[in-house]
Every structure is written in C-alpha cells, then in structure tokens.
C-alpha cells in the first residue's frame, strides 16, 4: 500500500529520494524549473527506482510553478515545452501528500547580507503562495514545506514571512504549528547527515478537532528520532581516492582515471590557482598538526588580506574538520569552494561534487547531470535524502497510527499503488 505524492520545487530530488527509500510512497508528479535538475531527477527515477521511461518524461515537469493555472491545466511553451497539466497526469488518483521547499535564497541570511536591499525586492519571497495554491487545489491530507532557518526572520514588505505563511495555510483550511522556531527547526547532523544544516520543516494537515494533536505528534516523533550526537564529516571522505587540484585551467588525468582506475562519478577536482592551493595546504595543515593559528575569523580575514591584498569583512576560507559535522553545503558552492576546503593538506583543494553529495547524504550511485556548476548548485539546494527518509518514516507513523484522527476519506490509501 503506497501513498501518492506531488513534489513541488523538486530540484534534483532529495526529498523524493528519501521518501522513495521507504518503499511506501509513489511520486505522481514532480515540478522544477531548472533543466539540469529535472534531467537529473528523471534519470534517478528510472535507474534507481525503476520508473517507466515514458512515464517519467511525462510526470517530471520542467516548468515555472508561479504559472500555477497552466501547471494544473496544461501548457505549451517555447522554453518549457508541452504538458497536459498535473490534473491530467493524476486523473482520478488521490493526492495524499504534497512536498516541497520554495527556493531559499531570498530567505537566507547570507543572501540578505549580500543583497543591497536585503532581498526585500526578490520575487522568491512569495513563491510560497504558489505552493499554497497547489495545496488548496489538490487538498492532500498533509504537506511538508521545507526551508532555511532564515525564513524565520525574513520580513519582505515589513511583514514576517512566516506570519504570511501561517495566514495563507489557515485560510485554505490547514493547520500548522504556532511556534515554528521551537517546534519546526531541525539540525540535520542529528539525522544521519554529516553536515550542520538547520532547516525548517513545516508539517500541515487538514483542520479537524484532532489536527492540533496530529501536528504535535509529528514533531514529537521527529524530534524523538534525533541521535544523541551529530554525525561527523569524516564519513563523507572515507574510501574515496586521493585526487589533486587542476592548476591554471589545465585538466589532468585525475579527472577521468587514477592509476588506470575510473574515479567515482562526479568526483573530479576543480581548477585552483597556485595561490589558493598554497592557502588550502596551509590551513588544512594548521588543523592537522593541532597548531590552529587560523581558526578565528579575524586570523582568516588577515590571511586573506596578506595573500590577496584585498580587504574583506568576512573570512573567505573554511576547512572542513573531520571530527565535526561539515558546515552547511550551500548553492553558492557552485561559485567557489573556499569555504569548503578538503581536510587533507596533501590534496589541498576544495571538495568535489561527490564529496558535497556525500555531505548531503546522497548515495554514491546518485548521478548528477549538467555542468559542474549545475551539480554543485543542485546539491546545495537539495534536502538531504537521509533526513527526508526520516521525515517520511514519521509521516507513515502519523498516517497509519492516527487514521481515526485524520478522518481519512475513501481512496486515501491508494489501491492502484503505483533543534537540537
């Protein structure tokens, strides 16, 4: 018995992959507007989850969710191609669950610092409205809305975005927790992910006399699954061959083979200047030897000035420590890897796509398509599959242990199955 899911803002499929790992969910449709992520998700569904090639090409939609009416009813577009729309794809099947995380750059604190207007004018502040519209249309029994911690303090137009979100879901008849900061904020390093990554998980169900308790139970159960200690980053680097940075934009043999043996997919070094290689080796060795002269922000800012002659208000470098969870893997990683330096001073490089994927808990057989920049970006934007799997398992418990409280209607069970 499986539950039917629509995944919005699906990206390369971190949430979907975690849910499918349980064997209890069926992806009816997935939507994203970036072509490389859509192609990556399609390939994953076919090669890992045995979805039919023709079905995947129809049900994984490359489209802009802001155009919600067209997404639902069908479209013909010079950029996005053609589709009969999600209504046609779903037919008479019930939608049990909607997943998704609208792009987080407008809510991230780092993004607001970099933007001259603090992201106040960014259209992505209001992409949650498209998600709400889809929930309203398909009336799932529950939904999962994922985003960054920064959404809690975002105030586009002077109004807290989380207040807008609460009002929007309330108006369409769904209940979420009143205290998002206390109840809905999770650090994924306590959920089988070797990375300190704080994320807001908004779980909502249709309003009823039991809905408040159902939401409370979800968070209590999810918090109860946290490990006592975080997962350290060392597991992400184990058993990978040593590779070394390309220099001066010249590709070397490490990009394809090492001693005649093919490298794991997506495990190729970036190109780094001699200056950066020297800095990476210095900083990694500083930690490896225990000297730790460059562990403070001020020391790193000063080092940057010494090496580049430029001033900066923020430190540019960070070596991932194997005895701790990694720092957060961001979409910004596609621009440079200065804040995600490999812990081995001998390798003296930033992390590869495969290492970033491991820090996000993607399986080694998960292949990322597109350019290397596309790959880093989609990994940084993704929900870690291991965390997604734990969320999925918690929802299964809610669905199956509290069926009376959810007041499930006929067809809810799909018989066609397909901080710390």
- For residues 301 and 210, membership in a common domain is answered with no
First and final C-alpha spacing in the chain: 33
- pTM comes to 0.90
The confidence score (pLDDT) of residue 200 equals: 96
Average pLDDT, the chain: 89
- For residues 17 and 113, membership in a common domain is answered with yes
- For residues 315 and 402, membership in a common domain is answered with no
> What span, in angstroms and rounded, lies between the C-alpha atoms of 215 and 140?
15
- For residues 27 and 88, membership in a common domain is answered with yes
In a domain, 415, yes or no: no
- If one compares 95 and 255, the residue with the highest pLDDT of the two is 95
- For residues 113 and 46, membership in a common domain is answered with yes
In a domain, 212, yes or no: yes
- If one compares 185 and 250, the residue with the highest pLDDT of the two is 185
Out of 199-208, 256-265, 390-399, 406-415, pick the least confident: 406-415
In a domain, 420, yes or no: no
Instruction: Name the DSSP class of 319.
Output: B
In a domain, 400, yes or no: yes
- For residues 335 and 224, membership in a common domain is answered with no
pLDDT at 171 over 90: yes
The confidence score (pLDDT) of residue 260 equals: 60
Q: With contact defined as beta carbons under 8 Å apart, do 372 and 268 qualify? A: yes
- For residues 276 and 137, membership in a common domain is answered with no
Instruction: Name the DSSP class of 326.
Output: B
The confidence score (pLDDT) of residue 153 equals: 87
- For residues 157 and 15, membership in a common domain is answered with yes
> What span, in angstroms and rounded, lies between the C-alpha atoms of 43 and 207?
37
pLDDT at 379 over 90: yes
Average pLDDT over residues 294-308: 94
The confidence score (pLDDT) of residue 78 equals: 96
Backbone angles phi, psi at 225, to 5 degrees: -90, -5
The confidence score (pLDDT) of residue 154 equals: 83
Q: Which of 322, 361, 21, 329 is nearest to 191 (CA)?
A: 361
Q: In total, how many domains does the chain have?
A: 2
CB atoms within 10 A of CB 126: 15
- For residues 20 and 153, membership in a common domain is answered with yes
Average pLDDT over residues 86-114: 76
Q: With contact defined as beta carbons under 8 Å apart, do 93 and 27 qualify? A: no
- For residues 51 and 175, membership in a common domain is answered with yes
pLDDT at 275 over 80: yes
In a domain, 417, yes or no: no
CATH number of the domain at 331, please: 3.90.120
Out of 19-33, 39-53, 145-159, 335-349, pick the least confident: 145-159
In a domain, 290, yes or no: yes
3-state SS assignment for residue 108:
coil
What stretch of H or E contains 201?
Answer: strand 198-206
Our answer to whether residue 246 is catalytic in this structure is no
> 103-122: per-residue pLDDT in tens?
755 444 444 344 444 444 44
- For residues 239 and 220, membership in a common domain is answered with no
The confidence score (pLDDT) of residue 257 equals: 54
Q: Which residue has the tokens 């495969």?
A: 354
Q: Are strands 60-62 and 81-83 parallel, antiparallel or unpaired?
A: unpaired
> What span, in angstroms and rounded, lies between the C-alpha atoms of 380 and 119?
19
In a domain, 414, yes or no: no
pLDDT at 156 over 80: no
Q: Which of 81, 87, 99, 88 is nearest to 144 (CA)?
A: 99
Average pLDDT over residues 229-250: 87
Q: Which two tokens stand for residue 220?
A: 């209590």
- For residues 127 and 181, membership in a common domain is answered with yes
Q: Which residue has the tokens 């199955």?
A: 417
Of all residues in the chain, the percent with pLDDT exceeding 90 is 80
In a domain, 220, yes or no: yes
- Please, which residues bridge with residue 414 across strands? 2
Q: Which of 64, 39, 224 is nearest to 130 (CA)?
A: 64
Q: With contact defined as beta carbons under 8 Å apart, do 31 and 10 qualify? A: yes
Q: Which of 104, 132, 154, 200 is catalytic?
A: 104
CATH number of the domain at 53, please: 3.40.50.150
Q: Range of 16's domain?
A: 3-230+383-406
Backbone angles phi, psi at 148, to 5 degrees: -80, 160
Q: With contact defined as beta carbons under 8 Å apart, do 7 and 102 qualify? A: no
pLDDT at 414 over 80: no
pLDDT at 124 over 60: no
Confidence of residue 404 (pLDDT cuts 50, 70, 90): low
Q: Which residue has the tokens 């979409």?
A: 331
What stretch of H or E contains 216?
Answer: helix 211-224
pLDDT at 93 over 70: yes
């Amino acid at each position: 018995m499986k539950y039917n899911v629509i995944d919005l803002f699906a990206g390369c499929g971190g949430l979907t992959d975690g849910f499918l790992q349980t064997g209890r969910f069926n992806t009816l449709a997935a939507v994203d507007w970036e072509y490389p992520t859509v192609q990556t998700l399609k390939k994953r569904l076919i090669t890992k989850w045995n979805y039919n090639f023709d079905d995947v090409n129809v049900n994984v939609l490359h489209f802009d969710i802001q155009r919600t009416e067209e997404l639902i009813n069908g479209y013909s577009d010079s950029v996005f191609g053609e589709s009969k729309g999600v209504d046609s794809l779903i037919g008479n099947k019930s939608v049990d669950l909607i997943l998704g995380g609208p792009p987080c750059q407008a809510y991230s604190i780092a993004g607001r610092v970099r933007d001259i207007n603090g992201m106040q004018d960014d259209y992505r502040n209001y992409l949650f409205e498209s998600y709400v519209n889809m929930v309203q249309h398909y009336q799932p029994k529950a939904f999962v809305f994922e985003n960054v911690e920064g959404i809690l303090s975002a105030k586009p137009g002077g109004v807290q975005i989380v207040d807008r979100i609460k009002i929007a879901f309330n108006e369409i008849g769904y209940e979420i927790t009143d205290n998002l900061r206390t109840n809905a904020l999770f650090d994924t390093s306590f959920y089988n992910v070797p990375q300190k990554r704080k994320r807001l998980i908004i779980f909502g169900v249709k309003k009823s006399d039991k809905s408040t308790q159902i939401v409370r139970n979800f968070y209590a159960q999810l918090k109860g699954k946290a490990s006592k200690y975080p997962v350290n980053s060392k597991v992400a680097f184990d058993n990978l061959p040593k590779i070394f940075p390309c220099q001066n934009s010249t590709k070397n043999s490490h990009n394809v083979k090492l001693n005649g043996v093919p490298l794991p997919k997506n495990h190729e070094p970036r190109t780094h200047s001699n200056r950066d290689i020297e800095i990476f080796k210095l900083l990694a060795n500083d930690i490896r030897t225990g000297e730790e002269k460059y562990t403070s922000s001020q020391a790193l800012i000063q080092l940057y000035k010494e090496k580049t002659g430029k001033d900066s208000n923020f430190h540019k470098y960070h070596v991932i420590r194997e005895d701790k969870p990694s720092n957060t893997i961001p979409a910004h990683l596609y621009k440079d890897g200065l804040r995600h330096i490999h812990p081995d001073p001998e390798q003296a490089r930033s992390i590869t796509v495969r290492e970033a994927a491991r820090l996000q808990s993607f399986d080694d057989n998960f292949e990322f398509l597109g350019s290397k920049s596309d790959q880093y970006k989609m990994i940084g934007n993704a929900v870690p599959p291991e965390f997604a799997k734990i969320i999925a398992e918690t929802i299964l418990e809610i669905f199956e242990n509290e069926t009376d409280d959810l007041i499930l209607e006929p067809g809810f069970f799909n018989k066609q199955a397909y901080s710390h």
